[in-house]
Structure 1
Amino acid sequence: MHQQQVYAQAADFTMSAEAKLIGADLLITLVGGDTHHIGTVTTWSNKQIETIRFESHSGRFHKDDVLAEKILDIISPCLSGNCVITSGVHVNGINKEQIDASFEMAADLGQQLAEWLKETPFTFEAPVYKKKG
């Protein structure tokens, strides 16, 4: 199994993305800041994006999918199958500069992953199904 870990740092915090090729598919774990977690799960299949947001606090839901979608915008031309991104970035007392930087870092991570995907072949055997009858 091929895998890659990439990092971006700005505005006093770091984000990282760990990507694993699983057959024709790609699994990415995006984390960063002070408290890593799984806030959202974003899927890309048949060129459609869907997201599940987990509950955060005070009836709110995590919004980490906006970072996952930024990465998907960049890497989707490189994908040969499905993609799942779990995202959880939390910076204690986050400020506007850090929010803005998180989008730039997500784009940077996406670029790094796209370069890796261009160099890394999706090698897998097609599944074989039993014929009916």
Structure 2
Amino acid sequence: MEFSISNTGYTIKLTANFINRDLNVAITGGDVPHIGTVTTYDKEREQKEVVRFPSHDGRFHKDDVLADRLLEKIKDGLPGNCVITTGVHVDYITTEQIHASFGMVDELGEKLKSWISIQDNFEDPIYHKKG
């Protein structure tokens, strides 16, 4: 499944697919899409972890801010775990474009939430019996 939204001169794209009950999401866009951060969510323990990759000048990517917004919208409806890779880079980004990204991801999150709610083709694993 893929959604995209454009605002203030750039586009953010959200791609999502289920791996059985677990959701794999990529949020990319701008002039140089990349993987800046990886956010994982353990549904059972309700625990989030983030890995930020190095950026430039000793800094680290901050794309997880967008992943956090998305996760807040969808986590209650998730049937399993979730991994979100995020990387949006806009050359010479302005404050207006940064603020626009929040609303863009919120809108994409609503679309994703609706899509998640109609998914039900999941399999339960079978394990060996002891003894």
- How far apart, in 2, do the equivalents of 1:47 and 1:110 lie? 19
Matched with 1:79 is: 78
- % identity of equivalent residues: 49
Q: Distance in 2 between matches of 1:87 and 1:81?
A: 19
Alignment deviations for residues 92-122 of structure 1 (CA, whole Å, 9 cap, x no partner)? 000000000011111011011001111222x
Aligned pair partner of 2:8 in 6, 11, 21: 11
Tell me what 2:52 maps to.
53
2:97 maps to which residue? 98
What is the total number of aligned residue pairs between the two structures?
129
Q: Whole-Å Cα distance in 2 between the matches of residues 54 and 132 of structure 1?
A: 43
Question: Which structure 1 segments of 5+ residues have no match?
Answer: none
1:22-41 aligned at under 5 Å gives the runs 22-41=19-38
CA distance in 1, matches of 2:130, 2:36: 42
TM-score (norm 2): 0.94
Q: CA deviation at 1:68?
A: 0.5
Q: CA RMSD in A?
A: 0.9
Q: 1:20 aligns to what?
A: 17
2:112 paired with 1:113: yes
* Aligned-pair CA distance for 1:131: 2.9
SS of residue matched to 2:11:
strand
Gaps of 5+ in 2: none
Secondary structure of the corresponding residue to residue 92 of structure 2: coil
Partner in structure 2 of residue 127 of structure 1: 125
Q: Deviations over 1:77-97 (max 9, x none)?
A: 110100000000000000000
Verify: 1:43 aligned to 2:40, yes or no.
yes
Q: Which amino acid in 1 is paired with 2:25?
A: I
* Inter-partner Cα distance in structure 2 for 1:130 and 1:109: 41
